[in-house]
Structure 1
Amino acid sequence: MKKAQKSGDWRPFIDLIRQTNPSKPMLMGAILMSIATTIVGLFIPLFTKSLVDSFSLTSLNPGTIVVLVIAFIAQTISGGISIYLLNHVGQTVVANLRDRLWKKFLVLPIPYYDHHRTGEMLSRMTNDTGVVKGLITNHLTGFFTGIISIIGSITVLLIIDWKMTLIMLIAVPTTLLVLIPLGRQTFKISRGLQNETAHFTAMITQVLSEIRLVKASNAESVEYKNGKQGISNLFQFGLKEGKVQAVISPIISLIMMALLVVIIGYGGMRVSSGSLSAGDLVAFILYLIQIILPMTQFTTFFTQLQKAKGATERIIKTLEQYEEDHTSGQKLQNIYQPITVERLTFGYENGKPVLMDLNFIAEPGKVTAIVGPSGGGKTTLFSLLERYYSPLEGTIRIGPDSINDFSLKSWRSQIGYVSQDSPLIAGTIRENICYGMEKEISDTELQHAAKMAYADHFIDEFLERYETEVGERGIKLSGGQRQRIGIARALLRNPKILMLDEATSSLDSQSEIYVQKALENLMTGRTTLVIAHRLSTVVDADQILFIEKGRITGKGTHRELLHSHPMYREFATQQLRLHTTTDGIEIM
C-alpha cells in the first residue's frame, strides 16, 4: 500500500486494472484503430505541403480528391470504432471492479462494519470506480495516439527542417518542469477530494435513511449545517483543483502559443530567404498543431491519472481487508446436541471485556432465557453465538465440537434469529419471508409459514396479499406485523437453534399476544435462547441466566432464582405481582 501512495507509482493502478481481466483483443483493437487514425492524420500535412507548393487547378485531379475523401472517411470510421471499443473495455473494467467490491462487502466481517460508514463504502462502489472508468474511456486512447502523433510529427519535422524542429523541442523540458510538480499537487488534492466525497456521501446516506428521526427531533437545521459544511469542504477542494488547472492550462497554452509565434516568425524568414518552401512552412505548422493538441490532452490525462491512482489506493485497501470464509470447515450434521459455553471472555477493540468467564449449557430442545440489566452483554453473547466476533478466551461447543470447526454457512443455516425490531428489506411480503432461501418456495410452504407466525391474518387483508410492498425497512407495516414477518421467515428456514432478542419488548398488548403465540410455534422442538426484559415471557423457561456487568451471577429456574438471587427477585417484584406464602414467593 505504501507504493500506492507515491504519486509517481503506476503499478498498483495497472495491477488493479489487470486483475479485472479486460478484453485484450478489444483493448488492442481500440488502440490500433486510434493509431491508424493518427497515422492517416500524419499524411494529411504532407499532402497539404505538395498542394501548396504546386497549387494549380490542373494539379487537382479526381484521383487525388477521391484518395483524400477516402482517407478522411477511414479516419472517421476507425476513430468511432476505437471510441466504442474503448468504452466497452472501460465499462467492463468498472463492472468487474464493482463486482469484486460488492462481493467483498458481503463477506467482510461485522467488525469492519463497526468501523466504516455505509456511505463511504457506497463511494468506493460509485465515485472511485467512476474515476477509473473515466480515465480509460475518455483519456487512454488520447494518451497513446498523442504519443504516436508527437513521435510521428517530430520525425517528419526533422526531415523537413531539423533546425526549426530543435527550436520547437526546447519547449518540452519547460512543459515538464510545469507538469511534474503540479501533478504531485493534483494527486494530493484528488485524494483529499475523494476522501471528503466519501465522508459527505456517508453523512447524507445516514441522514436520509433516518429521515423520520431527523423530523421527529426537529433536527433539520442541525443536519442542514452538517451537510452545508460537507458541501463547503467539497467546494474548497474543488477550488484547489481549479487553481492547479488555472496554472497548468494557461502556462501550457502560453508555451504552445509562444512556440507557434516563434515557428511562424522564424519560418517566414526562412521562406523569404528561399531556404524553406511555403508548403514546408504550412506542413510544419500543421504538424506543430498535431503536437500541441496531444500536449494539452496529456495535461488532462495526467490529472485524471492522479485521480485514478487516489481512487485505486482506496479500492485496493478495501479489497485487501480480511474476509469471512463461509465454506471452510465441516458440515454440521447432528444439531440436536447441547450448546456448551465455557470460560467465554470477549471485549471489543481497545475496550475492557464485555463478557467475562461465562459458563453454561443450553440443552437441546429446551429454552434458556438470558435476563439482567441493560449493557450486561446479552446481545454481545448472541453475536458470539452467530460467530460475528471471535472470543478472546474460552470456547463455544455444540456437543464435543467447537462451533468454529463447522463452516459458517453450515452453522448459520441452523440458526433462526428474531430481533426486537425485525429487519425487512424494501420489497414484497413474499420476498421478505423468503429472504435468503436458496431453493424455490412454493405458495403452500409460504402460506404455512405465515399461518404458523399468525401473519396470515393481516396479509389476507391486503389487496395484493403476499405481493404487497412493505416500503423501505418495512415502514408500511406496524411493529407487530414486522415481527410476525420475521418469525415467518425463521419458520421457513426451519432452524434447529432459535435466538430471540427482545422479540416482544416493543409491542402493544394485542400484538404481543399474536407474536407470543407465533413464537410458541417457532420454539417447539428447537434449542431456544431468549433475551428478555419482560420476565413474564420467560418464567416458564427451562433455565434462566442472570447476567450483570458481563458475568453470570445467577443460574436456575424462575422459582430457584426468586429464592437465591436478590437482584432477580427485585426485577421480578417490579414486573410481576408477587405475594409471600408459607412455602415462599408466588406469582398471583
Structure 2
Amino acid sequence: MKKNPFFNLIFSIRIPKTPLIIGMVGTILTTFVGLSIPLLTREVVDGFNPNNINIGLIIGIIAVFLIQAVVDGLSTYSLAYVGQTIVQRLRETMWVKFLHLPVRYYDKNKSGESVSRIVNDTSIVKDLITQHFPQFINGIITIIGAVIILLIMDWKMTLLMLIAVPFVVAVLMPLGKKMSTVSRGLQDETANFSGAVQQTLGEIRLMKASHAENHERSKGFNNIKELFLFGLREAKIFAMIGPLMYLVNMLVVVVIFGYGGIRVADGSMSTGSLIAFLLYLVQITFPITSFAMFFTQLQKAKGATERIIDILDLDEEPFAGRELDISNKALHFQNVSFQYNDEEKVIEDMSFTVPPGKMIAFCGPSGGGKTTVFGLIEQYYEPTSGNISIGDIPITDLAKSSWRTQLGYVSQDSPMMAGTIRDNLTYGLENPESITDDELWEVAKMAYADQFIKEFPEQLDTEVGERGVKLSGGQRQRIAIARAFLRNPKILMMDEATASLDSQSEAIVQQALSRLMEGRTTLVIAHRLSTIVDADKIIFIEKGRITGTGTHQELIASHDLYREFAEQQLT
C-alpha cells in the first residue's frame, strides 16, 4: 500500500459494478452528445437564412440538449452512488477496526483523534470520489474528444491552443506537492483539536469544578489558531491556482479569437467554424479548471488515506478460539509478569489460584497493580511472561466472546452508555429485544434498583444521559449490578465497587453485591478492609508483587503492612 495508497485503498473495497458501468457509459454518452453541439451550432451559423429557417436542425439541437441533460443527470447520480458506497464501506471497515483494536491502542491515543479519522478523513475521501472524480472522468473524455475534433477541424489553431498545457503542468505539479504537505498537517491538527474538544466537553464537570475555563479557553484558542494558519496556507495555494488558471484560459481565448478572426477575414475559416472552435475551447477550459481542483483534492485525500491506512494496518484483538463453559474451573496465575512497552514492570512474577465458588480479595497500596490484574483477566492486555489459565487451558486459547460473556465486572465508576435504563441493562446481549420486562424487573429487584426505577415517570425507558449523569452514583452502581445479574456470570470481578458511595448507598449496594456473589467465583479489589474481612483468601500486592496471602486473621498475624491497614480502618 506504499506506492499508491489512495488508489490501493479504494480498489481494496468492493466497488458496486452496475452503477459504475451505468455512470461511465452515461458519462461517455453525455460527452459525445456535448461534443456534437458545437458542430450543430456551426451548421446553424453557416447555413443561417432568415427567409428559410431550418426548423428540423433547431429541433435537433434542442433534442440533443435534452438528451444530454437527462443522461448527464443519470450518470452523475450513478457515479455519486458509487462514491458514497465506497465511503460507506470504508467507514464501516474503519468502525469495525476501531471496535476490534486492543485496549492498548486507546491507552495511547485520544478517542477524539479516532473520531476525526472516521469522520473528517473519510469526508475528504468522499468529496473527492463523489464530487471531483466524476467531473474528472467527464473532463478527460471531453478534452480527448474535443481535441480530436479540433485537430480534424484545424490542426494549426489546435496546436496553438495546446502550447499552454506544459505551462499549466509546470505550475500545478509543485503546488500539488505543497498541498499534500499542508493537507497532512491540517488533518493532524484537526484530529488533535477534535480530541481536545471531546476530552474537555466529556469532562465538563471536572473543568468547571476546577475553574479551568481560562486554561481550556487558552488551549482551545491555540488549537483553533493552528487550524486557522493551516487554512491560510491551503487558501494561498488555491489563491495561486485559481488566478493562474484563469489567466492561462483568457490568454488562450484572446489568442484564438485574434488568430481565428484573421482566418475568417481572409476566408480560410467560416464564422460558424470559429464559433464551433470557441465552443470546443470552452468545453476544454472548464475541465482543465476542474482538474486543478481535482489534483489539489487528490493530494488532500492522499494525506487522509495515509492516516486511514495506518489505522487499518494495526493488529486487531484475536477473537477466534475455543468455546468453553468455565463453570467449576479454577483460575490460575502462573509466574505472570506484565509491563507497558519498555516501562518498569507493573506486575512481576505473580502466582495464585482462585478456586471455583470462592471469594478472593486483592488489597494493598494504590498503584500496586491490582486493577492491572483485572485487565489481564479480561484479556485487555496479555502477560509479558507467564500464563493465565482456566482449569488447565490458557485463557488466550479461548474465543474472546466465550470468555468475556462469562465474566461479570462491576467497577467503581459504573460506566453507562447514553440511552435508557433498559438499554443499559441489556447492553451487549445478542438478542436484547428477547429480554422481557419481567426479567428486567426481577434483576432490578435483586440489585435493589427497582424502587428508584419505579419512581421515574418513564421507569425502564428513562433516559440516563451521557455516561449516566442523570443518575446518582448509587443508582448507577445498582444498575451495573442488575446488569451483572442479567448476564449470570461464572466469574464476578468487583473493583472498588462501593468506594465512591455515601454510607447509605454503600449499605444498599453492599447488600446487592452480597446477593450477586452467592455461589460465584468472585474477585474483589478493595481499599476498605471491612468489605473483604470475610473473603476466603486475601492477596496483598505491593509494587506489582504478592507480599502476603491468607485470611484476614492470618494476615493480621503475619503481614506488618496489612496489620497497619487493619488498625487504621477497623479500630
Give the TM-score, by structure 2 length: 0.98
Written as runs of structure 1 = structure 2, the 5 A alignment for 1:71-110 is 71-110=64-103
Which residue does 1:371 correspond to in 2? 363
Which residue does 2:352 correspond to in 1? 360
Which residue does 1:7 correspond to in 2? none
Which residue does 1:510 correspond to in 2? 504
Task: Tell me, in whole angstroms, the C-alpha distance in 1 between the residues paired with 2:325 and 2:201.
Answer: 44
Residue 117 in 1 paired to residue 110 in 2? yes
**SS of residue in 2 equivalent to 1:553:** strand
Q: Say whether the 8 Å CA contact 1:369–1:543 is kept in structure 2.
A: yes
Which residue does 2:179 correspond to in 1? 186
Written as runs of structure 1 = structure 2, the 5 A alignment for 1:11-30 is 11-30=4-23
Q: Say whether the 8 Å CA contact 1:416–1:493 is kept in structure 2.
A: yes
**SS of residue in 1 equivalent to 2:5:** helix
Residue 490 in 1 paired to residue 472 in 2? no
Q: How many residues align?
A: 569
Q: Say whether the 8 Å CA contact 2:326–2:390 is kept in structure 1.
A: no
AA in 1 matched with 2:386: G
Match of 1:558 among 545, 552, 558: 552
Which residue does 2:219 correspond to in 1? 226
Match of 1:540 among 515, 534, 542: 534
Deviations 1:18-57 (CA, angstroms, capped at 9, x unpaired)? 2321211211211221221221111111122222222212
Match of 1:136 among 88, 110, 129: 129
Match of 2:569 among 564, 569, 575: 575
Q: Say whether the 8 Å CA contact 2:326–2:490 is kept in structure 1.
A: no
Deviations 1:367-402 (CA, angstroms, capped at 9, x unpaired)? 100000000000001100111101011111111111
Task: Tell me, in whole angstroms, the C-alpha distance in 2 between the residues paired with 1:50 and 1:443.
Answer: 79
AA in 2 matched with 1:341: F
**SS of residue in 2 equivalent to 1:57:** coil
Which residue does 1:301 correspond to in 2? 294
Deviations 1:64-113 (CA, angstroms, capped at 9, x unpaired)? 12111111111111111122212222221111111111111111100011
Deviations 1:170-216 (CA, angstroms, capped at 9, x unpaired)? 11111100111111111111111111111111111111111111111
| Greater CA drift, 252-261 or 480-489 | 252-261
Which residue does 1:6 correspond to in 2? none
Which residue does 1:526 correspond to in 2? 520
Give the share of equivalent positions with the same residue, in percent. Answer: 57
Deviations 1:245-272 (CA, angstroms, capped at 9, x unpaired)? 1111111111111111111111111221
Task: Tell me, in whole angstroms, the C-alpha distance in 1 between the residues paired with 2:144 and 2:315.
Answer: 46
AA in 2 matched with 1:472: E
Task: Tell me, in whole angstroms, the C-alpha distance in 1 between the residues paired with 2:268 and 2:95.
Answer: 66
AA in 1 matched with 2:45: V
Match of 1:214 among 197, 207, 217: 207
Written as runs of structure 1 = structure 2, the 5 A alignment for 1:279-428 is 279-326=272-319, 328-428=320-420
Task: Tell me, in whole angstroms, the C-alpha distance in 1 between the residues paired with 2:71 and 2:388.
Answer: 66
Deviations 1:537-565 (CA, angstroms, capped at 9, x unpaired)? 00000000110111110100000000100
Task: Tell me, in whole angstroms, the C-alpha distance in 2 between the residues paired with 1:163 and 1:91.
Answer: 43
Which residue does 1:274 correspond to in 2? 267
Q: Say whether the 8 Å CA contact 1:102–1:125 is kept in structure 2.
A: yes
Measure how far apart 1:360 and its partner are. 1.0
AA in 1 matched with 2:181: K
Task: Tell me, in whole angstroms, the C-alpha distance in 1 between the residues paired with 2:511 and 2:537.
Answer: 20
In structure 1, stretches of 5+ residues that fail to align are: 4-10, 578-588
Match of 1:465 among 455, 459, 481: 459
Measure how far apart 1:445 and its partner are. 1.5
Task: Tell me, in whole angstroms, the C-alpha distance in 2 between the residues paired with 1:437 and 1:246.
Answer: 54
Q: Say whether the 8 Å CA contact 2:80–2:134 is kept in structure 1.
A: no
Task: Tell me, in whole angstroms, the C-alpha distance in 2 between the residues paired with 1:276 and 1:63.
Answer: 25
**SS of residue in 2 equivalent to 1:295:** helix
Match of 1:43 among 30, 36, 45: 36
Task: Tell me, in whole angstroms, the C-alpha distance in 2 between the residues paired with 1:156 and 1:406.
Answer: 68
Q: Say whether the 8 Å CA contact 1:335–1:398 is kept in structure 2.
A: no
Measure how far apart 1:59 and its partner are. 4.4
AA in 2 matched with 1:355: I
Which residue does 1:585 correspond to in 2? none
Task: Tell me, in whole angstroms, the C-alpha distance in 1 between the residues paired with 2:332 and 2:34.
Answer: 78
Which residue does 1:449 correspond to in 2? 443
Written as runs of structure 1 = structure 2, the 5 A alignment for 1:143-222 is 143-222=136-215
In structure 2, stretches of 5+ residues that fail to align are: none
Measure how far apart 1:446 and its partner are. 1.1
**SS of residue in 2 equivalent to 1:503:** coil
Task: Tell me, in whole angstroms, the C-alpha distance in 2 between the residues paired with 1:323 and 1:334.
Answer: 25
Q: Say whether the 8 Å CA contact 2:409–2:494 is kept in structure 1.
A: yes
Q: Say whether the 8 Å CA contact 2:9–2:309 is kept in structure 1.
A: yes
Measure how far apart 1:12 and its partner are. 2.2
Task: Tell me, in whole angstroms, the C-alpha distance in 2 between the residues paired with 1:334 and 1:536.
Answer: 30
Task: Tell me, in whole angstroms, the C-alpha distance in 1 between the residues paired with 2:97 and 2:170.
Answer: 41
Residue 247 in 1 paired to residue 240 in 2? yes
AA in 2 matched with 1:394: G
Task: Tell me, in whole angstroms, the C-alpha distance in 2 between the residues paired with 1:386 and 1:145.
Answer: 54
AA in 2 matched with 1:477: L
**SS of residue in 1 equivalent to 2:455:** coil
Deviations 1:295-322 (CA, angstroms, capped at 9, x unpaired)? 0010011111111111111111111111
Structure 1 ranges of 4+ moved more than 3 A: none
AA in 1 matched with 2:81: H
Task: Tell me, in whole angstroms, the C-alpha distance in 2 between the residues paired with 1:210 and 1:113.
Answer: 17
AA in 2 matched with 1:321: L
Deviations 1:302-345 (CA, angstroms, capped at 9, x unpaired)? 1111111111111111111110122x221112431211111111
Task: Tell me, in whole angstroms, the C-alpha distance in 2 between the residues paired with 1:124 and 1:31.
Answer: 30
